[in-house]
Amino acid sequence: MAKTVKTEAEIFKEEFKKKVRDEAKMLYRKTLEEVSDRHKFVAVAYAVKDIVIDQWIATQKAYEKTDAKTVYYLSMEFLMGRALGNMIINLSSRNEIKEAIEELGLDLNVIEDQEPDAALGNGGLGRLAACFLDSLSTLGYPAYGCGIRYKYGMFQQKIEDGYQKEIPEDWLRHVNPLEIKREEYACEVKFGGFVRVEHRDGRNYFIQDGYQAVRAIPYDMPIVGYGNNVVNTLRIWDAEPIVHFNLDEFDKGAYMAAVEQENLAKTITEVLYPNDNHYAGKELRLKQQYFFISASLQIAIKKYLTKHDDLSKLPEKVVFQMNDTHPTLTVAELMRLLMDEYLLEWDEAWAITSKCCAYTNHTIMSEALEKWPIELFSRLLPRCYQIIEEINRRFIIDIENKYPGDHRKIEKMAIIYDGQVKMANLAICAGFSVNGVAKLHTEILEKQELRDFYEMFPEKFNNKTNGITQRRFLLHGNPLLAEWVTGKVGDDWITDLPKIQGIEVYADDKKAQAEFANIKYQNKVRLAKYIKEHNGIDVDPRSIFDVQVKRLHEYKRQLLNILHVMYLYNQIKEHPDMDFYPRTFIFGAKAAAGYKIAKLTIKLINSVADVINNDASINGKIKVVFIENYRVSNAEIIFAAADVSEQISTASKEASGTGNMKFMLNGALTLGTMDGANVEIVEEVGIDNAFIFGLSSDEVINYENNGGYDPMQIFNEDMDIRKVLMQLINGFYSPDDPERFRDIYNSLLNTQSTDKADRYFILKDFRSYAEAQKRVEEAYKDQEGWVKKAMLNVAHVGKFTSDRTIQEYVDDIWHLEKVKVDM
């Protein structure tokens, strides 16, 4: 017999295939060939998890041995998307795993498609948290993501008759093979009741009585670093009742209390609030916040105490990063635990807390600011409230000492004021670091929104421009382009994105341009197929794919985009022979369930689509597509296929944006305002390789502060705009109900209510936007010129990797050491 010696890779593949077959057998009592696609996914996922677990254990051992400092990234949201495909590409054995799956006769794409998205987040803030975890593992830094295991994540969006319908997203209805329940780390979280003070042994003891409690149970998900054996943990908490109530209970009071406690546990982790950039002030939301913060901190301190006994050195080993103000209870809960559970004095506890907590601001939208009524806060969290009162009392003394007699400073900066607890003020007062998420955003925080705080604590403020992981959004989402880049410059870019600049030398190379253009075309075909399958609309992959995908919000101005489409359509109808390059306008967006005008905007987009897509007279020059249920998994397909990236927020309103970076990475050109990270994108790629328009943030802020903008004047003077606006109220797009879009019309011109007309300067920016769109068309007609610009965008995307962002957090805020994990 020839050839008996097997290579290591062959042995690995044999073992892997056996594991997959065994899983199918054990779980479903069937052969792999007999089970459904979903069960195939489960079998493969368990086999992959088996590989991951060894690295996970090794990583945690290495952390223990080196006693490395750990960051706890505290976030109400982690928008992870699907895990399996990402895990496979990050594992060193990715090629063997892919081959083994193929040899089993399985199609990896079909398998991956079986996994529901883990949609435990709304939009930018949640996805950023997910990218950060990927980078932390890839860079080898010890980290936990701490959050909530919502039973229902971000709702599934269905479009019915052009309207958004929200369907509960029951992502856990089947087993989740990629998590582990950790009962051994369960702990108790207490709500309500009252605080009793006992004086013993010369000190006060604060005891919470008459409370309701729930058991917090963590589920761990592995976060695999790229090719380095490092596996960090995303720890998300579920709530369970402490005691199941006893039906024999005859004491009615105790029975009712038990039922209430059981209900509390059931409701706490039931559902993610689907609001983005809008604070609703719901009691349950505050419960969620305290629930996961208390549990995460209890475990973090216990873990520290397994190796250390001096809590005053906690800041040397632990840092808590608060993802916006949602986890700001960290400050009060850490104080409470240190004082009430570990018996430290106030000053000792404060010294620790103020060295452990750091805060990131993600928005300047005033309606997003979290402020809790004292009544609600003190009833739900009586001890934390006492502590915050004391923090506030001391802080006001500091303010008075620094600015004697300046009451305005107290009004602005006090933590408790006007009957409300202001979470941002608490985070800034107690945190040692306050950062914005793009240069412009941080500047606006320092000069406008948080000016008084910046003046008082300039040393706390810093910028950390956001980033994205190229592993998911290029390597996984766009395999054709990823392979092409690797073919040109090697694969270093996967962990060192600036290396991608090596492709710049091909920008003028005809052959490379043709290859690049062909890859974009293939990706457009892939998206066209998706659109055909999901929307039943035919789109032409040779048309310009002009894409706006992001949460629906007035400040993001999807309305500007669709009004411009209406305008173009009018132009084509009026001048049928005008020069026009075919364009496909693609939208994807979820609106918060209670956000009326946002939902009406979705209906408008779909109504415009209906009319235009069915008008044979324009020969398909314009197509409008609204992609249902935009989420991480279809985002990967959409970014890869885009020519134009719409980043058209009112200047000053978008803190950073991260979709803008994902488009750039995939060779789309930015059509945008000078807002958020767009400013830095232009800085990197050059103004000639982007299409910039609109008011500057200074101009917007100036109008907001001093007035002087009158949209009615534009309506009266610009007949094209007037015509478009009239079409909102004359039934052109809603013949069955001409009044349907009246609220949108009013929001722009507003003669009706007390709201400001056109708060987001849509009419003001309209002409400048239309003109920029014209430039897009001209540029696209020059195919070679366009491909070159697209290549230059990819070449200059290096700065926008989340690896860079995380390294900056480490250098300036967290001060972690890299850990090596050998297998």
Residues assigned a catalytic role:
362, 550-551, 556, 658, 662
List, in order, residues 6 or more apart from 730 with CB less than 8 Å away: 738
Element (DSSP H or E) covering residue 412: helix 407-413
Give residue number: closest CB to ligand 26W.
124
Report if residue 672 touches ligand 26W, rule: CB under 6 A.
Answer: no
**In the structure encoding, which two tokens stand for residue 610, read together?**
């209906």
Report if residue 656 touches ligand 26W, rule: CB under 6 A.
Answer: yes
Report if residue 123 touches ligand 26W, rule: CB under 6 A.
Answer: yes
Q: Which of the residues 445 through 474 are near ligand 26W (CB under 6 A)?
A: 466
- Contacting range for ligand 26W; rule: CB under 6 A; set: 9-17, 272-280, 442-450, 707-715: 272-280
Residue 424 Cβ vs ligand 26W, minimum distance, rounded to whole Å: 11
Residue 676 Cβ vs ligand 26W, minimum distance, rounded to whole Å: 5
SS3 content of the chain, % helix, strand, coil (to 5): 55, 15, 30
Residue 324 Cβ vs ligand 26W, minimum distance, rounded to whole Å: 4
Q: Three-state secondary structure along 496-549?
A: CHHHHHHHHHHCCCHHHHHHHHHHHHHHHHHHHHHHHHHHCCCCCCCCEEEEEE
Closer residue to ligand 26W (CB): 275 or 495: 275
CB 118, CB 78: distance < 8 Å: yes
Closer residue to ligand 26W (CB): 715 or 760: 760
Report if residue 548 touches ligand 26W, rule: CB under 6 A.
Answer: no
Closer residue to ligand 26W (CB): 363 or 801: 363
Report if residue 125 touches ligand 26W, rule: CB under 6 A.
Answer: yes
CB 471, CB 772: distance < 8 Å: no
Name the burial class of residue 65, with classes exposed (0-12), middle (13-18) and buried (19+) by CB atoms within 10 angstroms of its CB. Answer: exposed
Size of the site for ligand 26W (CB under 6 A): 23
Residue 694 Cβ vs ligand 26W, minimum distance, rounded to whole Å: 16
- Contacting range for ligand 26W; rule: CB under 6 A; set: 58-66, 153-161, 271-279, 729-737: 271-279
Report if residue 321 touches ligand 26W, rule: CB under 6 A.
Answer: no
Q: Which residues of 565-604 are buried (b: 16+ CB within 10 A; e: fewer)?
A: bbbbbeebeeeeeeebeebbbbbbbbbbeebebbbbbbbb
Report if residue 364 touches ligand 26W, rule: CB under 6 A.
Answer: no
Residue type, 200: R
Residue type, 95: N
CA distances from 232 to 52, 253, 298 (A): 11, 45, 19
CB 219, CB 235: distance < 8 Å: yes
Closer residue to ligand 26W (CB): 59 or 656: 656
Choice from 220, 449, 654, 803 touching ligand 26W (CB under 6 A): 654
Choice from 238, 370, 546, 643 touching ligand 26W (CB under 6 A): 370
Report if residue 363 touches ligand 26W, rule: CB under 6 A.
Answer: yes
Q: Three-state secondary structure along 544-571?
A: EEEEEECCCCHHHCHHHHHHHHHHHHHH
- Contacting range for ligand 26W; rule: CB under 6 A; set: 2-10, 109-117, 269-277, 700-708: 269-277
List, in order, residues 6 or more apart from 765 with CB less than 8 Å away: 557, 560, 648, 650, 673, 693, 694, 695
CB 132, CB 73: distance < 8 Å: yes
Half-sphere exposure for 26 (CA within 13 Å, toward CB): 11
CB 427, CB 356: distance < 8 Å: no
Closer residue to ligand 26W (CB): 126 or 711: 126
Query: Contact letters (x/-) for ligand 26W, 599-618, by CB under 6 A?
Result: --------------------
Choice from 23, 115, 169, 324 touching ligand 26W (CB under 6 A): 324
Q: CB 318: neighbour CB atoms within 10 A?
A: 21
Choice from 71, 214, 368, 609 touching ligand 26W (CB under 6 A): 368
In the three-class reduction of DSSP (H, G, I as helix; E, B as strand; rest coil), residue 269 is classed as coil
Closer residue to ligand 26W (CB): 442 or 523: 442
- Of 238, 136, 132, the C-alpha closest to 180 is 238
**In the structure encoding, which two tokens stand for residue 25, read together?**
């057998």
CB 416, CB 393: distance < 8 Å: no
Q: What is the pairing mode between strands 583-588 and 544-549?
A: parallel
Residue 800 Cβ vs ligand 26W, minimum distance, rounded to whole Å: 11
**In the structure encoding, which two tokens stand for residue 264, read together?**
């509390």
Report if residue 657 touches ligand 26W, rule: CB under 6 A.
Answer: yes
Place of tokens 């003020």: 425
List, in order, residues 6 or more apart from 189 with CB less than 8 Å away: 213, 214, 216, 239, 290, 291, 294, 295
Closer residue to ligand 26W (CB): 116 or 123: 123
Closer residue to ligand 26W (CB): 654 or 765: 654
Closer residue to ligand 26W (CB): 322 or 714: 322
Residue 77 Cβ vs ligand 26W, minimum distance, rounded to whole Å: 7
Q: CB 311: neighbour CB atoms within 10 A?
A: 18
Residue 281 Cβ vs ligand 26W, minimum distance, rounded to whole Å: 9
Choice from 362, 371, 464, 804 touching ligand 26W (CB under 6 A): 362
Report if residue 275 touches ligand 26W, rule: CB under 6 A.
Answer: yes
Choice from 134, 276, 636, 646 touching ligand 26W (CB under 6 A): 276
Residue 72 Cβ vs ligand 26W, minimum distance, rounded to whole Å: 18
Closer residue to ligand 26W (CB): 79 or 97: 79
Residue 363 Cβ vs ligand 26W, minimum distance, rounded to whole Å: 5
Q: Which of the residues 48 through 107 are near ligand 26W (CB under 6 A)?
A: none
Residue 583: strand pairing partners? 544, 622
Residue 86 Cβ vs ligand 26W, minimum distance, rounded to whole Å: 20
Report if residue 154 touches ligand 26W, rule: CB under 6 A.
Answer: no
Using CA atoms, how far apart are residues 666 and 500, in angstroms rounded to an integer? 12
Report if residue 424 touches ligand 26W, rule: CB under 6 A.
Answer: no
Report if residue 762 touches ligand 26W, rule: CB under 6 A.
Answer: no
Half-sphere exposure for 255 (CA within 13 Å, toward CB): 7
List, in order, residues 6 or more apart from 410 with CB less than 8 Å away: 396, 399, 400, 417
Report if residue 128 touches ligand 26W, rule: CB under 6 A.
Answer: yes
In the three-class reduction of DSSP (H, G, I as helix; E, B as strand; rest coil), residue 205 is classed as strand
Closer residue to ligand 26W (CB): 153 or 218: 153
- Of 153, 145, 289, the C-alpha closest to 219 is 145
Choice from 420, 470, 658, 678 touching ligand 26W (CB under 6 A): 658
Using CA atoms, how far apart are residues 789 and 787, in angstroms rounded to an integer? 5
Using CA atoms, how far apart are residues 300 and 179, in angstroms rounded to an integer? 20
Residue 535 Cβ vs ligand 26W, minimum distance, rounded to whole Å: 27
Q: What is the CA radius of gyration of the chain?
A: 28
Residue 8 Cβ vs ligand 26W, minimum distance, rounded to whole Å: 42
Choice from 278, 379, 526, 742 touching ligand 26W (CB under 6 A): 278
Closer residue to ligand 26W (CB): 298 or 673: 673
Residues in the chain: 823
Choice from 116, 676, 694, 711 touching ligand 26W (CB under 6 A): 676
Choice from 279, 372, 567, 741 touching ligand 26W (CB under 6 A): 279
Closer residue to ligand 26W (CB): 100 or 118: 118
Report if residue 124 touches ligand 26W, rule: CB under 6 A.
Answer: yes
Report if residue 277 touches ligand 26W, rule: CB under 6 A.
Answer: yes
Residue 273 Cβ vs ligand 26W, minimum distance, rounded to whole Å: 7
Using CA atoms, how far apart are residues 9 and 488, in angstroms rounded to an integer? 27
Report if residue 134 touches ligand 26W, rule: CB under 6 A.
Answer: no
CB 198, CB 207: distance < 8 Å: yes
- Summarize as ranges the residues that interact with ligand 26W (CB under 6 A): 122-125, 128, 275-279, 324, 362-363, 368, 370, 437, 466, 654-658, 676
